[in-house]
Amino acid sequence: MKTIAFGTLKGGTGKTTTCFNLAGALALDPNNKILLVDGDPQCNLTNDIGIDCSDMNRNNIRTIFENKKIDPSELIVKGAIDELPNVDIIPSNILLIKTEMQLVSIAGREKLLANYFSKNSDFFSQYTHVIFDTNPNLGVVNQNIFYFVDSIILVSDVSLNAIQGAELFSFLWEENIEDLGIENNIKALIINNFDKRINLAKDLQDYYLSEEEFKDILVETPIPGSVAMKDTSLSHLPIVVLQPQHQAAIAVRRVVKELVSREVF
Ligand SMILES: Nc1ncnc2c1ncn2[C@@H]1O[C@H](COP(=O)(O)OP(=O)(O)O)[C@@H](O)[C@H]1O
Ligand SMILES: [Mg+2]
């Protein structure tokens, strides 16, 4: 089982879109079984899959922190994408923000999620990949996610703010991991919403390739900006299903191939 989280400290760079679409491409291999986990109270990944996250009766990621004894099978929505029955999801909930506040004073608070997965490893080992979406902060819920996963994938778009978001994440997370006693698990950086007609696009790639912390982890293939990628959210279908021949779908499959060869996926 590989565990992966998408992150950065800038909103709108395409974390959720990339998470949803790369998971879709991974799921084309029927040997893969994927569990998505939405760690963002804005619930964008949950919405992309087509699940209503304001439903207070549905278990969600918050339940893990509220009721440590919950059986994992009760958290999961199975086969939420008809075309890709090997993708399950633990949805988010708008009240995840409350969990953040409740956890602040608990001892060992950053390790609760890791403990839950470890206690229920028999159940979770049915999945080849557990993939988390996050929102742009390093609050307690996200710390739990980033502490638990083998690999963090940073997502940048073509903007100076996105560079700052990736650099800030990398800087702050390195401070965190010293306290948490783990190795640096930032393993990849994807450029999303790429348009080679924009002058800054090539400069951005060159910049990341010149930086010590990013040069070895930058994913070679950028994901192009396109209306088709935007449509994946409204249609609740990843690009590889929605428009498999589209250049964005080709890029997404290439990115997945590269991440598989680097053992991130
Ligand atoms: N490759 C892309 N091409 C076109 N639109 C994109 C692409 N990636 C993301 N978007 C759009 O940009 C916006 C922000 O993306 P999102 O994935 O929600 O970012 P984040 O999760 O980092 O906040 C959304 O409206 C999404 O549809
Ligand atoms: Mg998002």
Q: Provide the residues around ligand 2 (an ion) whose CB is within 5 A.
A: 15-16, 44
Q: Do 153 and 4 touch, CB atoms closer than 8 A?
A: yes
Model confidence at 121: pLDDT above 90: yes
Q: What is the pLDDT of residues 52-95, one digit of tens each?
A: 888 888 999 999 999 989 999 999 999 999 999 999 999 999 99
Give 20 Cα–ligand 1 centroid separation in angstroms.
11
State the Cα–Cα distance between residues 90 and 109, nearest whole angstrom.
20
Tell me the pLDDT tens digit for each residue of 151-206: 999 999 999 999 999 999 999 999 999 989 999 999 999 999 999 888 889 999 99
CA–centroid distance, 25 to ligand 1, in Å, is 17
Give domain 2-261's CATH superfamily.
Answer: P-loop containing nucleotide triphosphate hydrolases (3.40.50.300)
162 CB near ligand 1 (under 6 Å): no
Best CA proximity match to 142, nearest among 175, 103, 90: 103
Closest residue by Cα to residue 47 from 232, 236, 238: 236
Q: Is the pLDDT score of 120 beyond 90?
A: yes
The DSSP H or E segment spanning 190 is: strand 186-194
Kindly state if the Cβ of 135 falls inside 6 Å of ligand 1. Answer: no
